[in-house]
A and B are shown apart, each in its own frame.
Chain A
């Protein structure tokens, strides 16, 4: 049973460009959350998608947007990249119908470098 899968694993972009990161949830999960982890810091919540809608959002600018597809997979889009967007982007999935206490398991992440 595959866990959370993310692609690509590494990405290098130039300032001002746009990037799309992808996430496939674990089988049976219908909710996807995205986190940003800058070097030396803990992950920060970006947003969460359920039923193809953004349900919760952290303190991130509108340059960060997302999408969830009918098969529950998700994309994270970042526009007008800044050097400070360089980070490890993590995806986690869960089942909405379970207790809110459900532990989150992360994918392997996408390392984004902005030059």
Chain B
């Protein structure tokens, strides 16, 4: 069974700090990796995707992928209270069928 694991949190960081969110996956055939942000009561919003080993930066967000370790992470620099949400890690191998982790709740305290 293909699994994606995340620490449920909550992860609490002070405003301005770096938040580090982690995810591991079991299917070595996974080729695409996504991070979604979900505010309470809302639908998931895509914030980052990465396909190759290494780092990918977009503004305050950096996604990191290590396929050998089956590990993907999301760093949020200069965290803001508005970043407080649940972050969902998702992976796919083909056909755009996503397998999601349970999400990590992030709390950024002013």
For A48-79 the 0/1 string (1 means CB < 8 A from B) is 10000001101000000000000000000000
With A33-B96, A109-B43 as known contacts, state yes or no: A101 contacts B101, CB within 8 Å.
no
- How many whole Å from B47's CB to the nearest CB in chain A? 10
- How many whole Å from A45's CB to the nearest CB in chain B? 5
Which residue of A33, A55, A94, A103 contacts B49 across the interface (Cβ within 8 Å)?
Answer: A103
Chain B residues near A109: list those with CB within 8 A. 42-43
How far, in angstroms, from A101 to B98 measured CA to CA in the complex? 10
Q: On chain B, which size bracket covers the interface?
A: 20 to 34
> Which of B14-22, B54-62, B64-72, B87-95 forms contacts with chain A?
B87-95
Interface of B is mostly: loop
Which residue of A43, A45, A107 contacts B88 across the interface (Cβ within 8 Å)?
Answer: A43
Chain B residues near A35: list those with CB within 8 A. 98
Q: Are B96 and A31 in contact (CB under 8 A)?
A: yes
How far, in angstroms, from A72 to B4 measured CA to CA in the complex? 30
With A103-B34, A103-B49 as known contacts, state yes or no: A108 contacts B43, CB within 8 Å.
yes
How far, in angstroms, from A90 to B100 measured CA to CA in the complex? 13
How far, in angstroms, from A35 to B51 measured CA to CA in the complex? 22
Chain B residues near A40: list those with CB within 8 A. 102
Q: Are B102 and A41 in contact (CB under 8 A)?
A: yes
Chain B residues near A58: list those with CB within 8 A. 97
How far, in angstroms, from A94 to B97 measured CA to CA in the complex? 11
- How many whole Å from A35's CB to the nearest CB in chain B? 8
Q: Are A44 and B100 in contact (CB under 8 A)?
A: yes
How far, in angstroms, from A42 to B90 measured CA to CA in the complex? 9
| Residue of chain B at shortest CB distance from A41 | B102
Chain B residues near A80: list those with CB within 8 A. none
